């Protein structure tokens, strides 16, 4: 290929941009293309999360009404997180709290933790004929407080329409800390529409609350946008195939789909978030080591995870994209 082009960016690679305007003023992004139809934006000022993602010209994620919001506007009190929740293709939740605002062990905790509003340090961009690798570091640390450091590695394939995010969290403090992580993956129109095919192979599913449980027959169904839609969450015990847990969605509207794959030993729990409101139209597919019930609830029911001083924990999720329905079906 090199004999046909002047610069690799003619086809693929990573470019760095700075956003101008409104609450996103000054935010840094990596714009990445794999040369096969996958293009995405890493929000360096927001933990290196994937803010937007297109596959062969069609949008895959949900971009929230607030749009881009720089971390200096973050409100960590209560549900203030929602005022700067870009959502995007995925938002990382954690690292010491996920889910509902609460007070736990004397600490006031906001919605979904702080990690997604912490800027990342860009450590490396490396390119080979097969893939582009990006390494980042995000420090969720404080004097007299927790010292959790997230080392994040992205691998973007140049041969397939797929990428993997691999995270290693290390407790660099001298005390044991709660450890919660959830990949808040947000699928949006046109990937999400009333005819979308959602697949979450499972042995059991339960609604988060009484209302969701009463609508359990809709757990794998997508509705059209509705006024005053009441959100629903479902907790799935995802079945494994060849040692991997898979979940995905395919849209007949654009004949494209996404499948996520991960190690269930690392991420044993899976939450589906249904929010089919007008303009707030999103399907969340969320592997994690916790549910979004709040740290106080998990501590009480004995499911809260901890990370010891000096200990490291690894998690990873691979995302694959296809424009072939049979290929999508064969992944399950």
Tens of pLDDT, residue by residue over 232-253, are 999 999 999 988 999 999 999 9
| pLDDT 10s digits, 268-282 | 999 999 999 999 999
Show the domain range for 321. 2-330
**Closest alpha carbon to 299 in 50, 118, 96, 135:** 96
Which pTM was predicted? 0.97
C-alpha 319/C-alpha 330 separation (Å) is: 15
| pLDDT 10s digits, 161-199 | 999 999 999 999 999 999 999 999 999 999 999 999 999
Mean pLDDT of 316-320: 98
The number of domains in the chain is 1
CATH label of the domain that carries residue 309: 2.70.98.10
pLDDT-based confidence at residue 2 (cuts at 50, 70, 90)? confident
Question: Mean pLDDT score of the chain, rounded to an integer?
Answer: 97
């Amino acid at each position: 290929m090199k004999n046909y082009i002047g610069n690799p960016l003619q086809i693929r690679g990573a470019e760095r941009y700075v956003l101008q305007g409104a609450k996103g003023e000054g935010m840094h992004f990596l714009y990445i293309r794999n040369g096969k139809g996958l293009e995405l934006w890493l929000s360096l000022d927001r933990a290196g999360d994937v803010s937007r993602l297109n596959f062969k010209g069609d949008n895959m994620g949900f971009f929230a009404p607030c749009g881009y919001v720089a971390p200096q506007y973050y409100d960590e009190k209560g549900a203030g997180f929602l005022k700067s929740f870009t959502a995007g293709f995925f938002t990382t939740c954690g690292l010491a709290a996920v889910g509902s605002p609460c007070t736990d062990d004397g600490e006031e905790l906001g919605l979904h933790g702080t990690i997604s509003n912490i800027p990342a340090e860009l450590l490396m961009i490396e390119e080979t004929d097969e893939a582009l690798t990006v390494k980042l570091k995000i420090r969720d640390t404080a004097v007299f407080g927790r010292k959790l450091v997230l080392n994040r590695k992205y691998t973007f394939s140049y041969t397939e329409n797929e990428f993997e995010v691999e995270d290693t969290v290390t407790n660099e403090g001298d005390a044991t800390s709660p450890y919660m992580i959830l990949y808040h993956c947000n699928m949006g129109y046109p990937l999400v529409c009333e005819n979308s095919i959602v697949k979450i192979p499972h042995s059991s599913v339960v609604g988060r609350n009484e209302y969701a449980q009463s609508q359990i027959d809709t757990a794998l169904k997508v509705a059209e946008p509705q006024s005053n839609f009441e959100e629903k969450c479902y907790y799935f015990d995802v079945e494994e195939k060849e040692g991997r847990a898979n979940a995905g969605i395919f849209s007949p509207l654009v004949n494209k789909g996404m499948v996520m794959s991960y190690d269930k030993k690392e991420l044993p729990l899976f939450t589906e978030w249904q929010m089919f409101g007008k303009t707030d139209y999103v399907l969340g597919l969320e592997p994690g080591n916790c549910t979004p019930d709040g740290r106080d609830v998990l501590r009480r029911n004995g499911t809260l995870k901890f990370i010891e001083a000096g200990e490291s924990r690894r998690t990873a999720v691979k995302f694959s994209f296809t424009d072939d329905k049979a290929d999508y079906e064969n992944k399950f």
